[in-house]
Amino acid sequence: MGEATRAMCFALRHPGPGQKPLKLKAIQKILKKKDGKKRPTLQAISKAANTYGNVKKKRGRKLGQRATTKEEDHKILQSFRKASILML
């Protein structure tokens, strides 16, 4: 679901003060997926409306952190080269 669609889900589900939120089925009738034919599921609309403003945490390893040591990298590269020569 794109950012614009997620924002629309949030806006329709959390309107300003004094207004009632739209039901999920009503929002589903308004929205369409990128292909223009199918509609998003009720679960997808609910999740998009609830998590729209959340800040995503960083993922992956920290800068400079390695999964293998340089010695292990060297052994892996040697075995890869040996295997690639055998395949030829």
Q: Give the start-to-end residue ranges of the domains of the chain.
A: 3-51
Residues near 21 by beta carbon (within 8 Å), at least 6 away in sequence: 12, 13, 14, 15
Tokens of 20: 């009632």
53-65 pLDDT tens trace: 899 888 888 888 8
8-63 pLDDT tens trace: 999 999 998 999 999 999 999 999 888 878 999 999 999 999 999 899 888 888 88
